[in-house]
Structure 1
Amino acid sequence: MKIDFNKNKDGLVPAIIQDASTKNVLMLGYMNKESYEQTIATKKVTFFSRSKKRLWKKGEESGNILNLVDIKSDCDHDALLITVDPVGPTCHTGSDTCWDQENKSSFGFLSQLEEVIRNRKENQEDSKSYVASLFRKGMNKIAQKVGEEAVEVVIEAKDDNEELFLNESADLLFHYLILLQAKGYTLKDVEEVLKSRV
């Protein structure tokens, strides 16, 4: 990989550290050529510490190491994106990230939708929403709706109307998210099961 360590007078390039699984940014460090080569050789992320003026393997004292997954250079070859499998919290403060955020999976819009469903579940008596009405009708009705939507997806999969297939797929996913919440689970729980099978 081409990396321009000579672009700056100090011979350092910024290294953005990202969790390979959650895709969250964990920290920013700096690497020189030697720390980069040591990272490649050991598969443990090693930085050049600007304060200590020496190589510094993340977790050398705390044990909270960063196992290397992949390294990419940016278009100018003067910054790195390093994906890792972290062991323990990344920040020296004990936080998961150096931005004091929990390093948990986020499913983008689906996580937002889960939050809406959770809110409707918790406030079902005060809500006239469709989701709240399903929660009021109970588990049998929610499970029945998932079954109905699954059958409709299968039917549309065998036809050629892609728009109907995608709409039924959206309905199935939506009702499945409701069922997960009714059972006390989220997509994160399903993700953990799938990860354990890899």
Structure 2
Amino acid sequence: MKIENLKFDEKGLIPAVVQDARTKEILTVAYMNLESLHKTVETGETWFFSRSRNELWHKGETSGNTQKVVSITTDCDQDALVVEVIPAGPACHNGTTSCFTETLVEKGKVGSVGIIPELVEIIEKREKEMPEGAYTTYLFNEGIDKICKKVGEEATEVVIGAKNRNPEEVKWEAADLIYHLLVLLQEQKISVYDVLEVLVERHQQKRASTKNTK
């Protein structure tokens, strides 16, 4: 796929959906023209075209909230982009992580991997502020031995629930295991995203190996 094959509108613009490469949260929707897209590719940071000011703008140039580009993909019609980034700060001028903060319709809650970055942020904050009475504070105060013990206990509970063929128990204990594992990673100063990167690398290696054997 080449940039020259993209379909810009009559004003020479193409919509760009900016997404956090790690959390997969939609950060903002902006527009690019050919020049801003080339600058984005060349610099590795997002550049857009402001329709109101009729000029290029480099995201984070004044605020410092730049966006490091991880990937750029286009849709089947080649008239829209998804730009995955690692943000250095809030995407919105209002200071929020995402520009999408207003809920129009919400019909119940669903489980989402989006809870992982939320928990990571809370655990980091707990270790920094150590609020009295918080369970996470208790774990950090007790130290690595207690945290490791809890990870082991929760893993065992998952195994017991699975052996008992008890789906409800497995769900609850697996949730406890994930939480305590995140606490352990924070204590070790290991980013959960680095762990996920290992999974991605393994998957890609396995996929490449499978292709080579065909």
| TM-score category of the 2 structures, normalised to the smaller one | 0.5 to 0.7
1:149·1:168 contact (CA, 8 Å) conserved in 2?
no
Paired with 1:73 and 1:110, the residues of 2 have a C-alpha distance of 23
Return the letter of the residue paired with 1:195. Answer: Y
- Return structure 1 stretches of 4+ with deviation > 6 angstroms: none
1:3 and 2:6 correspond: yes
**TM-score scaled by length of structure 2:** 0.57
Q: Extract unaligned runs of 5+ from structure 1.
A: 112-139, 157-163
| Paired position in structure 2 for 1:92 | 93
Paired with 1:144 and 1:67, the residues of 2 have a C-alpha distance of 39
Paired with 1:107 and 1:189, the residues of 2 have a C-alpha distance of 23
| Paired position in structure 2 for 1:176 | 174
The structure with the largest alpha-carbon Rg is 1
Distance apart, 1:178 and its partner CA? 3.1
Number of corresponding residues: 153
| Paired position in structure 2 for 1:14 | 15
Paired with 2:113 and 2:62, the residues of 1 have a C-alpha distance of 38
Between the aligned residues of both structures, percent identity stands at 34
Distance apart, 1:89 and its partner CA? 0.4
| Paired position in structure 1 for 2:134 | none
Distance apart, 1:174 and its partner CA? 3.1
| Paired position in structure 1 for 2:210 | none
* Superposition map of 1:125-164 within 5 A: 146-150=155-159
| Paired position in structure 2 for 1:135 | none
Return the letter of the residue paired with 2:79. Answer: D
Paired with 2:13 and 2:41, the residues of 1 have a C-alpha distance of 16
Q: Extract unaligned runs of 5+ from structure 2.
A: 103-109, 116-148, 198-214
1:108 and 2:112 correspond: yes
Secondary structure of the 1:40 match is: helix
Paired with 2:171 and 2:152, the residues of 1 have a C-alpha distance of 13
Paired with 2:168 and 2:113, the residues of 1 have a C-alpha distance of 13
Distance apart, 1:80 and its partner CA? 0.5
Distance apart, 1:177 and its partner CA? 1.8
**TM-score scaled by length of structure 1:** 0.62
| Paired position in structure 1 for 2:53 | 52
CA RMSD of aligned residues (A): 3.9
